[in-house]
Amino acid sequence: MNSATSIRQLFTSFYNKKIAFRQWLNPFYKNRDFISLQNWMISCQAPHKLTKSAEFPAKIDPEWGDNSQGAAHDDQYWYFTNRHNLFKIPLTTKITSKTKKSNNAGIPSRLYQNGKGYDHMGDIDIYQNKVFVPLEGKRPPKIAVHDCQTLKCLYDYDIKNDDQHGFPWCAIDPKTKRLFTSNFDFDSKEGLFVYQLETKGKEITGVHFLDRFPLFDSNFQNFKLKRIQGGCFSPNGNLYLLSDSRDGDAGLLGFDMYTGRQFVYKKIIKRTNYIPFPGGAIFEGDELEGITYCNLTPDQNPIASTPGINGKLHVTMVDKDLFTDNFYFKHFDASDSNKSNFI
């Protein structure tokens, strides 16, 4: 046994026995369950940078493109939301202005209440063959759970947390099976909101607030983010947030979820314009909306052949004009794997 192996084994033994020491290494230990030395070291491996790999489709005007909101996927379909509808499109489809939705589900009428109730779907996620859809418009916000195959709304639950003022996105951590979200404008001192999914077999029987999860910038300092439109987890458990800030800082931010530290930022250039109008200026420009992590990198066993699309992080954007919205799908590559370099 060489000296390096010996030191590693001694450190592993000490680390596994001393809870206080584990909590010092990982101050949010309670939100990530048991953390082995190996998993903690893996959490330190993250992309140095994100690179734009494609933009397809771009500037299309499909029937479902207006007020685009969220994005997710499974092994067969893209799932999208606009303001009032959840729908899906096969991964193998070449998406154009003429592409039709495979299925469609609106906000249930008992919740929508002719526009006087819940009237806004956010950025979505998929877990246990179900689509989790954030709903806003009334207090408290709700999480609607839809069947992936039929898109039928199976049940919905209140998000009971007085500090959560909106529900723009949700993402389920593959490591803890917990649901993470935030307010639209984010203060890292406030942290992410963490919810426990109550289950019985494969059914979701409830959702309850569990804790907050602080985030930090790359120097472990507090920070603020404007207009968080979406979030998603990678298979390794890294969290990516999508900020639609209108002050020039819009983009993708990646966080290691053992320490909460930001490890990457990718600025996304977008158009921001305001049209003078009596009573106040009207925004006309680009809005970043939804994000999902789907490995479509050609040399890394992509889950499907997706015409015009590659990379791992996929972002929806709408170009909001006065009369119509144009839809964009932006794609980014990230070396988010166990073979990444330490940073």
What is the rounded CA–CA span in Å between residue 217 and residue 177?
24
- Segment 214-235, tens digit of pLDDT: 999 988 889 999 999 999 999 8
Q: Please report where in the chains the tokens 């689509």 appear, as a residue.
A: 131
Helix (H) or strand (E) holding 72: strand 68-73
92 CB neighbour count, 10 Å cutoff: 11
User: What mean pLDDT is predicted for residues 31-38?
Assistant: 50
The percentage of residues in the chain with a pLDDT greater than 70, rounded to a whole number, is 81
pLDDT at 150: 97
What DSSP state is assigned to residue 100?
A: P
Instruction: Look at residue 9 and tell me whether its pLDDT is greater than 70.
Output: no
What is the rounded CA–CA span in Å between residue 70 and residue 146?
14
- How does residue 74 score in pLDDT terms, banded at 50, 70 and 90? very high
Specify whether the backbone of 114 is left (phi greater than 0), alpha (psi in -120 to 50) or beta: left
**This prediction's pTM:** 0.85
The overall longest dimension of the chain from CA atoms, in Å, is: 78
What is the rounded CA–CA span in Å between residue 204 and residue 266?
35
Q: Hey, what are 12's tokens?
A: 């592993």
Helix (H) or strand (E) holding 65: none
pLDDT at 260: 87
pLDDT at 136: 96
What is the rounded CA–CA span in Å between residue 293 and residue 88?
16
- Segment 83-103, tens digit of pLDDT: 999 999 999 999 999 999 988
pLDDT at 41: 61
- Segment 180-225, tens digit of pLDDT: 999 999 999 889 999 999 999 889 999 999 999 999 998 888 999 9
The closest of 193, 207, 72 to 131, measured between CA atoms, is 72
pLDDT at 45: 62
User: What mean pLDDT is predicted for residues 141-145?
Assistant: 97
- How does residue 338 score in pLDDT terms, banded at 50, 70 and 90? very low
User: What mean pLDDT is predicted for residues 25-37?
Assistant: 49
Instruction: Look at residue 323 and tell me whether its pLDDT is greater than 90.
Output: no
DSSP 190-232: T-EEEEEEEEETTEEEEEEEEEEE--B-TTS---EES-EEEEE
Instruction: Look at residue 7 and tell me whether its pLDDT is greater than 90.
Output: no
Does a cis peptide bond (omega within 30 degrees of 0) precede residue 108?
no
User: What mean pLDDT is predicted for residues 29-53?
Assistant: 61
What is the rounded CA–CA span in Å between residue 292 and residue 234?
9
What is the rounded CA–CA span in Å between residue 250 and residue 234?
20
User: Residues 237, 220: contact at Cβ < 8 Å?
Assistant: no
Query: What is the residue-averaged pLDDT of the chain?
Result: 85
pLDDT at 4: 47
- How does residue 247 score in pLDDT terms, banded at 50, 70 and 90? confident
What DSSP state is assigned to residue 25?
A: H
What is the rounded CA–CA span in Å between residue 114 and residue 14?
60
The percentage of residues in the chain with a pLDDT greater than 90, rounded to a whole number, is 59
- How does residue 178 score in pLDDT terms, banded at 50, 70 and 90? very high
User: What mean pLDDT is predicted for residues 248-252?
Assistant: 89
For β-strands 274-275 and 179-181, DSSP reports them as: unpaired
- How does residue 321 score in pLDDT terms, banded at 50, 70 and 90? confident
Kindly list the structural domains of the chain, giving each domain's residue range(s) and its CATH number in brackets, ordered by start: 1-43 (no CATH), 44-334 (2.115.10)
User: Residues 326, 65: contact at Cβ < 8 Å?
Assistant: yes
